[in-house]
Structure 1
């Protein structure tokens, strides 16, 4: 008798977990939109992590106070941008995947860690310029065609800050030559 009661309870529990017949399943375009947003969050998050990690090296090792200030600003700004992206994604119902550095980002970080004091500052700026160019292109692209309106708005708001970082990195690199 207990066995029949357990089977009935399990069936009732499963019935409660299943979607009602009138529920709509996500359409393929909704699934694609979620993947598009998740890919954006993944790559933006990885870019932010790269900016923060490389900038921490400069804050600790560079002898150039202007560059250390720039790196500290990047740490602050990219940490804030990541936090804003996560909060925006959560508010829009998009699960942000945990970001991970690409193989190229890991290699660049490794080169920065082992750079000589004489080449450290220049190498950092040589890494920051293309990293910010890539980030800016991605952010601008998502702000125009991204699938999630709240994330598009967040990307549009972040673009001027990334553009300013890029301009400052380019100017500092030109001065370092």
Structure 2
């Protein structure tokens, strides 16, 4: 555990004091894909309606960054001898998208930001946990490379 924390510190990955149990490689791939799908779909929805230039810039970055992380996880999964299914929204993502579709104007923008904060905290926990305790080396590496990007998104969201 100490070696893992030391390696995480060297990589600049924030660590949690509690030992984490990583999901199976297939579950990690599925959860990462579901999170990315929510990010992409919600951001496209907000891009179509927001008048806020800062939010437009953020949502555009979300589409780009989460398309990249989906591709990176898929490639790592294939190197790990997994055959990943196309990413799909999970139940929470489906509910969040429905709520965004029901909201209008500035209320949609506010809901999007709120949802993004929660989704990114969940994503950070997933990626950090897998980077620290995962069992598939290629997926551990990609999780470690994604975590700082998610952390950056959280920092941006904190100023919105």
Matches within 5 A, 1:16-165: 36-165=24-153
For each residue in 1:56-78, what CA deviation from the matched residue of structure 2 results, as whole angstroms up to 9, or x when unmatched?
A: 01111000011001000000000
Supply the RMSD in Å over aligned alpha carbons. 1.2
CA distance in 1, matches of 2:88, 2:60: 22
Between structure 1 and structure 2, the one with the greater Rg is: 1
TM-score (norm 2): 0.83
Greater RCO between the two (CA within 8 Å, min separation 6)?
2
Instruction: Mark the runs of 5 or more structure 1 residues left unpaired by the alignment.
Output: 1-34, 173-177
For each residue in 1:113-172, what CA deviation from the matched residue of structure 2 results, as whole angstroms up to 9, or x when unmatched?
A: 121213011110000000000000010000011010011011001110000011111211
Q: Give the structure with the larger helix fraction.
A: 1
TM-score (norm 1): 0.75
